[in-house]
Amino acid sequence: MSRSRPPRIAVVGGTGAVGQTLLGLIEQRGFAHDSVRLIASERSAGRTVPVLGKTVVVEDLRTADFSDVDIAFFSAGTPVSAEWAGKAAGAGALVIDNTNAFRMDPASQLVVPQVNGALLAERPISGIVANPNCSTIPLVRLLRPVHEAYGLRSVYVSTYQAASGGGQNGIDELYDGARSILAGDTAEARRFSQPLAFDVLPAIDVLQADGFTLEERKMRQESRRILDLPGLDLVATCVRVPVENGHSEAVTLECDRPVDAAELARLLDAQDEVKVWREGWPTPRTIVDAPDLVHVGRIRVDPERPNRALLWLVADNLRIGAALNALQIAERAVQEGIA
């Protein structure tokens, strides 16, 4: 598909945390576009919002027409994508979906451009490219080079996920809860299962029959698909922590071959958009000056088991874990001529 003009864009969920981050990135990265439409629920429909130097009226998804859209970004929740993404793709848009609705769908592609962006040479059968989970994206960007250099046998990961992973309501709930507790009151749980302020919650998303949560299952299934390693042994424990934005992960890697810590640091530092911290370590607060990099620290090898390496990573979940990955998919899709 080749077009003389840049793509016409629609952002479904454009008033939310991911949608707003995406609009900022479109401006920051100078992503060429012919027009931008903002689509949300009836709650926001009719509101006027400044978007990329223009004033845009938010549209109601229930009456939205996608026939004049080239790229539709969806970040309005899994049920919304399950109902609407196919309709938008059917009307001709390339859908880039931030939810869990199509990540394991064989007719759709699950893409992290730095890892398997070559898949974007062809438009997926469904017309939908899925963005992986916010913790999976930075992890697989490190796992790929480790696998190529040392052979990955097992991956054990514990996540420390920020309130913004629960959207704007999650951020508001953290601040409201902290204020209530500091005022001597009790905090209320709305978006999360329990009050998050001054606590950590060792379960994200729905608990499954096997005792794992859906978030933990997503990390395993999605990593296997993106890395094209269906047998990869990867196990996760996903934890919500009272941080506003920025997910962290403690990762243990069991490899086929012995790992040299300095060599592993050089290997990861050489990856696109990855920064290895050789002094100190990254935290959600210390990465704000470079939010579009995956930050890695505390790279070490177990002295008793030379095939076992450990590291700490931090990445901005709203950007790398959602909006930036989605926009990088769009950039590559335009380059490949599939959008």
- Residues within the interface to ligand NAP (CB under 6 A): 13-19, 40-41, 43-44, 61, 75-78, 80, 98-99, 134, 164-165, 167-169, 317-318, 321-322
The catalytic position among 33, 147, 238, 247 is 247
Tokens of 86: 């196919």
If one counts every other C-beta atom within 10 angstroms of the C-beta of residue 169, the result is 15
Choice among 134, 238, 255, 295 that is catalytic: 134
Minimum CB distance to ligand NAP, residue 58 (Å) = 7
> How far is it, in rounded angstroms, from Cα 26 to Cα 48?
19
Nearer to ligand NAP, 84 or 150 (CB): 84
Closest CB 244 distance from ligand NAP, rounded Å: 11
Angle between helices 167-182 and 17-28 (to 10 degrees): 110
First to last CA, the chain: 7
Rank residues 38 and 264 by Cβ distance to ligand NAP and give the closer one: 38
- CA Rg, the chain, in Å? 20
Give the integer Cα–Cα distance in Å for 6 and 56: 19
Give dist(CA 66, CA 10) in Å, integer. Answer: 8
Round to whole Å and give the CA distance between 85 and 99: 10
As a residue count, the chain comes to 339
Between 322 and 333, CB nearer to ligand NAP = 322
Q: Is 19 or 299 the residue whose CB approaches ligand NAP more closely? A: 19
Residue 205 or residue 254: which is nearer to ligand NAP going by CB?
205
CA distances from 5 to 65, 303, 334 (A): 20, 57, 11
Reported in sequence order, the residue ranges of the chain that DSSP labels E, i.e. its strands, are 8-12, 35-40, 48-51, 54-57, 59-60, 71-74, 94-97, 109-110, 128-130, 152-161, 233-240, 247-255, 274-276, 294-301, 308-315
Active site residue 134: yes
Closest approach, Cβ 137 to ligand NAP, in A, equals 8
Which long-range contacts (C-beta less than 8 Å, at least 24 apart) are formed by 332-336? 332/113, 332/117, 332/120, 333/71, 333/94, 333/96, 333/120, 333/129, 334/6, 334/7, 334/32, 336/120, 336/121
Q: How far is the CB of 231 from ligand NAP (least distance, A)?
A: 26
Give the CB-nearest residue to ligand NAP. 16
Residue closer to ligand NAP, measured from CB, 40 or 152: 40
Q: Based on CB atoms, which residue is closest to ligand NAP, 23 or 120?
A: 23
Pair 284, 213: CB distance under 8 Å: no
Minimum gap (Å) between residue 160 Cβ and ligand NAP: 13
Please, which residues bridge with residue 73 across strands? Answer: 11, 96
CB of 35 to ligand NAP, least distance (A): 19
Cβ 198 to ligand NAP shortest distance, Å = 21
Is residue 221 helix, strand or coil?
Answer: helix
Active site residues: 134, 247
